[in-house]
């Protein structure tokens, strides 16, 4: 019996293989800068390198780790490369990776307070810390009527906000009988696709989400919002929800939340504010204007997994009235009943999110805040913004290039004056080189290049080198 | 300039602290058996041990790790203790923890194939492996019309299935104009609360989800299902979706999927099958009967994060017609456009799930399958089922106890003959002792104790000891 094979990794093996995995990651970060940022593989390449059938017998850990290097790594686009300027960043850091490791090791379920009290309480506590660090309105703290929770993404936060708003508007009738009323929601034409996806999921419908036009800076026009709400009311619709964006994905445009907020309050709409990337900037008092008007918001989210060195998934979602959210999402089957829940003395985060189960996500955020301190986080946010502004300055001085819009923070939208085809070719050639990676959008109906400075390890030299390569490649292309 | 403080954890520090974190976890697993399984803390205890304000300056990693031991651990309920028999398990294992660690280190976004091809392709590939390991119908493989994806939970899988079904039933009209028709969905009165939550989220409404009555084994009655569908049609409703459960949370009841499937096919309903825990049993040919009727299903999910040694979050969600799912959930804003997506040659998992972003979850599942091999996984499933059946045998032989229902697999539902109050007191006293942890449900309108054998490290001696303690404590209570 004691001879029986357990198949498990023993604690001694776990130590040995664990050190190897840690070394693998440390080695990776030491060389990631030298790897082609955008993976050059073609569709099917990775699968072709993998056996068609699962192994019948277990394999040694060394072989698995070697396959990560040899078969997986070529198919990786390196989001943790300092030469990654694409999309919005999804940055990570040493303390975050290790906090997440401890979370995997503990392997607790945080669906209820009772299923692991520290998982819930650390989350509530750290989100109150974050509210202090950003100087959010007090009603977003757990000590008031609201509080924070970690969602997997801003998409899920927006969906939760939509559902809470839907139930508030219908007196919980939608939950009971389905979404019967002609509810209408509002956001800008530049808002993230997750708002539309949420409207579809929640049974509101894409056509009942009004995409309000924007001004020259791609920010929502409050006058048009007010007008549309009135028109909809006159047509018998029930306006119930608006989503404002602080830092749109296309251009980092900042919607005028104070004006939008006043309209929403007047009209009884739930206001959700999405600061997925730009929200982190509010760590620094000089950028805290991005939070103007949040006192009117019913919910707010931003993603430490974008720009605060905390690896995915970590979206901080704050609500001003937690009861509204919980009423919309709560369930309580017999097998989850427990004394702590019944007494109402605790938070059960199951009722603050779409899924039931949840991992101990607060650990990594706690590790990050304690490792960097507020000071260290501010340092990097300032550095990234300064680098992006410097880059924008170079663009402005170059007669061949132009800015599409003045960059509010760390995202620069620009283009070569050679037209859409030229810009597409420029981007494709540079990305294929592997030296850097950036992406595009369309602004003013023209292809526009996006250069976002937010990767943990991006330094001045990476930004300088990127600009040098962009100019060189443009010159080569212009010569034909 | 080179003197400037970076605040980052250097690669050398990452190695040192990383080893410390690995050691912390190895130590934890070596002593977890000796810790009180259910955390004894009271509401507020954990928060009271934490500073009210975030640190202005960074702190040493050692201090953070020490706080995990001293301030967090007392508030942890040990899901990874071999004495954990509560709820369904959420087990983990060495290879899974290390696979997840590599995922955190790489820090890639898998929302699109193009954002990191290997992240998508390994997932598709490993889910095809899983389909082979379970011998799922071929249409659930990516090589057919379907394929698999990793969702965070069975709740989210059920919601995705509901949405795909809703859009198939309305010809995409719900996505466009909101959920206007009187759609009706069906599941058993014993189904997981996530089905009701999904129906609320999707704008169907709780009242339009018919909870069909069950037989003496708590399995859905197909005759009542067929009858209700007919009644609803006659009343002008549009029946569109049914969810069957393979291993209900209360009692592990197995719905008769072949009969339900035939009804759904005849009536044109989308059939989703939820095998969250019990699905793992199908790794063993002798338990593969739990998959009977899956050839009629449109979608199926089970959770390796419950009983397959892969830490949360890892729900395997298979669809027979991937186009139906993608149509329901797809979005394509300009900033996510890319050549690989446009050519249609690749999978973009963003369109298979609720959120946009996603982490590289396939790594941990791949690590687990390669470490254990099919053989090692089968070994543990068989062992857990045998232990649970042995436990059930002891219950049956004891005149003071009774089984509430014959246990199909690894969950034993039983009670003391002393009535609800006695069983509640018995459970509370045992759980408060810290020696083991199990939970309850209600069956036949009586409080029923649930004893689930599925934790990675549970051995015969833990089950024996648990039963000894249950009997002893019952005897003590009976003496008064």
Cα–Cα distance for residue pair A418/A221, rounded to 1 Å: 31
Q: Are A208 and A237 in contact (CB under 8 A)?
A: yes
Q: Do A107 and B25 touch (CB under 8 A)?
A: no
Instruction: Round the average pLDDT of chain A to a whole number and report it.
Output: 96
Sort out which chain A residues have CB atoms less than 8 A from B102's CB and list them. Answer: 21, 24-25, 68
Q: Does residue B7 register a pLDDT over 50?
A: yes
Q: How many CB atoms lie within 10 A of CB B328?
A: 23
Exposure string for B129-138, b = 16+ CB within 10 A, e = fewer: bbbebbebbe
User: Virtual CA dihedral for B169, B174, B178, B182, nearest 10 degrees?
Assistant: -10
Q: Are B156 and A159 in contact (CB under 8 A)?
A: no
Cα–Cα distance for residue pair B324/B268, rounded to 1 Å: 14
The residue-averaged pLDDT of B253-278 equals: 98
All domains in chain B, ordered by first residue? 108-359 (3.40.640.10), 367-479 (3.90.1150.10)
Q: Which residue is it, tokens 């063993």?
A: B284
Tell me the pLDDT tens digit for each residue of B13-70.
999 999 999 999 999 999 999 999 999 999 999 999 999 999 999 999 999 999 999 9
Q: How many CB atoms lie within 10 A of CB B271?
A: 26
Assess whether the previous peptide bond of B296 is cis (omega < 30° from 0): no
Sort out which chain A residues have CB atoms less than 8 A from B379's CB and list them. Answer: 5, 7
ipTM: 0.96
pLDDT at residue A3, rounded to an integer: 55
DSSP label at residue A41? P
Sort out which chain A residues have CB atoms less than 8 A from B15's CB and list them. Answer: 22-23, 26
Give, in degrees to the nearest 5, the angle at Cα A221 between A219 and A227. 155
> Where is mean pLDDT largest: B322-331, B337-346, B400-409?
B400-409
Q: Does residue B343 register a pLDDT over 90?
A: no
Cα–Cα distance for residue pair B414/B350, rounded to 1 Å: 43
pLDDT at residue B1, rounded to an integer: 41
State which residue of chain B sits closest to A367, comparing Cα positions.
Answer: B64
Rg (CA), chain B: 24
Q: How many CB atoms lie within 10 A of CB B316?
A: 30
The residue-averaged pLDDT of B153-174 equals: 96
Cα–Cα distance for residue pair B466/B427, rounded to 1 Å: 12
Sort out which chain B residues have CB atoms less than 8 A from A161's CB and list them. Answer: none
Sort out which chain B residues have CB atoms less than 8 A from A124's CB and list them. Answer: 47
Tell me the pLDDT tens digit for each residue of B280-307.
999 999 999 999 999 999 999 999 999 9
Assess whether the previous peptide bond of A439 is cis (omega < 30° from 0): no
Structure tokens at A79: 């989001």
Q: Are A153 and B357 in contact (CB under 8 A)?
A: yes
pLDDT at residue B3, rounded to an integer: 55
Burial class (CB in 10 A: 0-12, 13-18, 19+), B348: buried
B345 confidence band (pLDDT: 50, 70, 90): confident
Q: Do B95 and A56 touch (CB under 8 A)?
A: no
CA of A431: how far to CAs of A92, A274, A400, A424, in Å? Answer: 22, 29, 20, 11
Q: Does residue B339 register a pLDDT over 90?
A: no
Structure tokens at A373: 């301190």
Q: Are B381 and B280 in contact (CB under 8 A)?
A: yes
Higher pLDDT, B341 or B466: B466
pLDDT at residue B480, rounded to an integer: 79
pLDDT at residue A2, rounded to an integer: 45
pLDDT at residue A1, rounded to an integer: 41
Of A44, A128, A14, which is closest to residue B47 (Cα–Cα)?
A128
Tell me the pLDDT tens digit for each residue of B352-382.
999 999 999 999 999 999 999 999 999 999 9
Give the closest-approach CA distance of B342 to chain A in angstroms. 13
State which residue of chain A sits closest to B39, comparing Cα positions.
Answer: A116
Residues of chain A with pLDDT under 70: 1-3
pLDDT at residue B180, rounded to an integer: 81
- Which residues, 6+ apart, have CB-to-CB distance to A49 below 8 Å? A70, A71
pLDDT at residue B469, rounded to an integer: 98
State which residue of chain A sits closest to B303, comparing Cα positions.
Answer: A357
pLDDT at residue A281, rounded to an integer: 98
Q: Do B129 and A371 touch (CB under 8 A)?
A: no
Q: Does residue B123 register a pLDDT over 50?
A: yes
Q: DSSP secondary structure string, B249-310?
A: TTT--B--HHHHHHHHHHHT-EEEEE-TTGGGGGGSGGGGGGGTTGGG-SEEEE-HHHHSS-
Q: Which residue is it, tokens 């936060």?
A: A157
The residue-averaged pLDDT of B208-218 equals: 97
């Amino acid at each position: 019996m004691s001879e029986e094979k357990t198949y498990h990794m023993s604690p001694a093996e776990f130590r040995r293989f664990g050190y190897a995995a840690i070394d693998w990651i440390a080695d990776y970060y030491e060389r990631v800068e030298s790897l082609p940022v955008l993976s050059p593989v073609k569709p099917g390449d990775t699968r072709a390198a993998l056996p068609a059938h699962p192994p019948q017998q277990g394999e040694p850990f060394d072989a698995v780790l070697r396959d990560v290097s040899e078969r997986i790594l070529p198919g990786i686009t390196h989001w943790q490369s300092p030469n990654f300027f694409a999309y919005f960043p999804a940055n990570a850091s040493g303390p975050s990776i290790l906090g997440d490791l401890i979370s995997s090791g503990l392997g607790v379920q945080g669906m209820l307070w009772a299923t692991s009290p520290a998982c819930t309480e650390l989350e509530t506590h750290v989100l109150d810390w974050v509210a202090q660090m950003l100087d959010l309105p007090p009603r977003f703290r757990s000590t008031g009527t609201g509080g924070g929770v970690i969602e997997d993404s801003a998409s899920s936060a927006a969906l939760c906000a939509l559902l809470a708003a839907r139930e508030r508007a219908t007196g919980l009738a939608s939950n009971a009988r389905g979404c019967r009323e002609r509810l209408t929601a509002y956001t800008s034409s530049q808002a993230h696709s997750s708002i539309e996806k949420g409207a579809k999921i929640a049974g509101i419908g894409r056509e009942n989400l009004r995409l309000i036009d924007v001004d020259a800076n791609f920010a929502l026009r409050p006058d048009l919002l007010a007008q549309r709400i009135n028109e909809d009311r006159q047509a018998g619709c029930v306006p119930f929800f608006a989503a404002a964006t602080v830092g749109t994905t296309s251009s980092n445009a900042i919607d005028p939340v104070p004006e939008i907020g006043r309209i929403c309050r007047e009209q009884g709409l739930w206001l959700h504010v999405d600061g997925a990337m730009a929200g982190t900037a509010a760590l620094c008092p000089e950028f805290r204007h991005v939070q103007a008007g949040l006192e009117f918001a019913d919910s707010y989210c931003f993603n430490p997994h974008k720009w605060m060195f905390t690896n995915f998934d970590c979206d901080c979602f704050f609500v001003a009235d937690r009861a509204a959210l919980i009423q919309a999402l709560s369930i309580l089957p017999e097998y989850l009943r427990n004394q702590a829940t019944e007494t109402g003395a605790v938070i059960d985060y199951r009722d603050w999110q779409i899924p039931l189960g949840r991992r101990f996500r607060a650990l990594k955020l706690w590790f990050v805040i304690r490792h960097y301190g507020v000071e260290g986080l501010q340092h990097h946010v300032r550095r990234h913004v300064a680098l992006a502004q410097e880059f924008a300055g170079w663009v402005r001085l170059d007669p061949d290039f132009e800015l599409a819009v003045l960059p509010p923070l760390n995202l620069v939208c620009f283009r070569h004056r050679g037209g859409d085809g030229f810009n597409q070719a420029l981007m494709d050639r540079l990305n294929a080189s592997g030296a850097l990676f950036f992406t595009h959008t369309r602004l003013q109906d023209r292809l526009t290049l996006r250069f976002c400075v937010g990767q943990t390890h991006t330094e001045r030299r990476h930004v300088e080198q990127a600009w040098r390569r962009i100019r060189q490649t443009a010159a080569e292309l212009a010569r034909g």
